[in-house]
């Protein structure tokens, strides 16, 4: 007797009845429905669906980083999933173009129905922020209430638990700290890099001194070189780095920062291709979230000006503050300041280049 097969219908598989019946404009309850409210609802529902997918991807990435061993295959999976997250963020920014087809007057037709509802109450987006590393002590608050006061019951408990758990930033830091590339046999990366920086700066000084410039111009350029030298010395000093961490000027540990620098400088080595792509994906995610926040600021300015937000915040003022203050991977982005040209890059001994091939295992 032939085995019966279960027929899955498109409508049932996607549960479209639930999704397509989930739009209920409030303006329709007591007066003529505001035409633009449907767009407002669908855009924000779409955001929440995409947030769910982003959380799905970030959770899987964090699970992989919690393993004792992360080999090249897992790093490849992580890079692909982070690439997907960044493409979704591009879509989220693009959705604002659609929302901005609604004018200020269109929005005001139904805005009075929304209070005290607010985007601040998006539990999924708050989860994402905390999972990435935006813990409460780093957050720009509005009013006297902590952000998690917006939630109750299980949702609030989940947020508070995430505050206590490891974030992606913490997992990244631990991963960078245990990458065994900083002291490989007879190759001390930090000291070799410092020598290369000094060679580069001395070459620049010679060029300035021999150039046909006025004494004033030479003095200005030489002063800039010395400031650059002090900056490199400060970054390369573990003592100074730890001091900067205590003062809140940087977040990533000294060892993790040096590992990130090595990965960026030697990205052409086969084993470092994927780690470099991962680090860049985190910087890109930071920038895309900041872009999304900034575009939101611009939209609020055009639609509401200086009006107070429906959730009671200072509206665009609060949003502006979060654009830079809520970036999480600035230390990775700042690695670009420490880059030197390949001509000054310390040459790796052959045995170390072999270790940085595809056969190296952490």
Report the predicted TM-score, pTM, of the whole model to 2 decimal places: 0.88
DSSP letters for 53-95? HHHHHHHHHHHHHTSS---HHHHHHHHHHHHHHHHHHHHHHHH
Give me the mean pLDDT over the 6-25 stretch. 93
Is the pLDDT at 3 greater than 90? The verdict is no
Residue 348 tokens, joined = 């790796």
The three-point CA angle 34-38-40 to 5° equals 100
Topology of the domain comprising 32-355: Methane Monooxygenase Hydroxylase; Chain G, domain 1 (1.20.58)
The three-point CA angle 119-123-124 to 5° equals 100
Write out pLDDT tens, residues 63-100: 999 987 787 789 999 999 999 999 999 999 999 999 99
Could you give the residue ranges of the DSSP H alpha helices within the chain? 10-13, 16-20, 27-30, 37-65, 72-99, 104-108, 123-132, 153-164, 168-178, 189-210, 215-236, 238-246, 254-265, 273-304, 316-325, 330-333, 350-355
Write out pLDDT tens, residues 35-69: 999 999 999 999 999 999 999 999 999 999 998 77
Percent of the chain scored above 70 by pLDDT? Answer: 89
**Per-domain residue ranges for the chain?**
32-355
Judged by average pLDDT, the poorest of 93-102, 159-168, 293-302, 318-327 is 318-327
State whether residue 352 is helix, strand or coil.
helix
The pairing of strands 187-188 and 183-184 is antiparallel
- pLDDT tier, 330 (very low <50, low <70, confident <90, very high otherwise): very high
Give me the mean pLDDT over the 153-160 stretch. 92
Residue 133, number of CB atoms within 10 A of its CB: 19
Residue 63, class by beta-carbon neighbours within 10 Å (0-12 exposed, 13-18 middle, 19+ buried)? exposed
Q: Give me the pLDDT at residue 49, please.
A: 97
């Amino acid at each position: 007797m032939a085995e019966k097969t279960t027929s899955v219908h498109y409508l049932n598989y996607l549960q479209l009845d639930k999704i397509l019946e989930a739009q209920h404009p409030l303006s329709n309850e007591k007066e003529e429905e505001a035409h633009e409210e449907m767009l407002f609802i669908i855009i924000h529902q779409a955001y929440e669906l995409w947030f769910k997918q982003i959380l799905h991807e970030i959770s899987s990435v964090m699970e992989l980083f919690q393993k004792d061993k992360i080999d090249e295959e897992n790093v490849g999976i992580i890079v692909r999933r982070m690439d997907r997250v960044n493409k979704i963020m591009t879509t989220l920014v693009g959705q604002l173009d659609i929302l901005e087809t609604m004018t200020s007057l269109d929005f005001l037709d139904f805005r009075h129905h929304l209070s005290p509802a607010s985007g601040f109450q998006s539990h999924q987006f708050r989860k994402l922020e905390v999972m990435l590393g935006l813990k409460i002590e780093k957050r720009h608050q509005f009013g006297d209430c902590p952000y998690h006061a917006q939630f109750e019951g299980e949702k609030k408990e989940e947020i508070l638990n995430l505050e206590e758990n490891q974030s992606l930033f913490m997992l990244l830091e631990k991963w960078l700290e245990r990458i065994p590339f900083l002291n490989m046999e007879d190759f001390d990366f930090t000291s070799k890099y410092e020598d290369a920086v000094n060679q580069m700066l001395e070459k620049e000084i010679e060029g300035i001194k021999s150039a046909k410039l006025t004494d004033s111009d030479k003095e200005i350029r030489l002063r800039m070189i010395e400031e650059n030298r002090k900056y490199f010395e400060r970054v390369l000093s573990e003592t100074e780095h730890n001091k900067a961490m205590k003062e809140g000027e940087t977040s990533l540990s000294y060892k993790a920062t040096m590992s990130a620098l090595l990965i960026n400088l030697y990205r052409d080595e086969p084993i470092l291709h994927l780690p470099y792509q991962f680090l860049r994906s985190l910087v890109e995610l930071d920038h895309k979230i900041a872009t999304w926040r900034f575009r939101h600021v611009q939209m609020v300015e055009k639609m509401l000006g200086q009006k107070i937000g429906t959730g009671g915040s200072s509206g665009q003022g609060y949003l502006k503050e979060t654009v830079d203050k809520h970036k999480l991977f600035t230390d990775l982005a700042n690695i670009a300041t420490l880059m030197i040209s390949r001509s000054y890059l310390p040459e790796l001994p052959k045995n170390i280049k072999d270790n940085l091939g595809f056969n190296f295992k952490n």
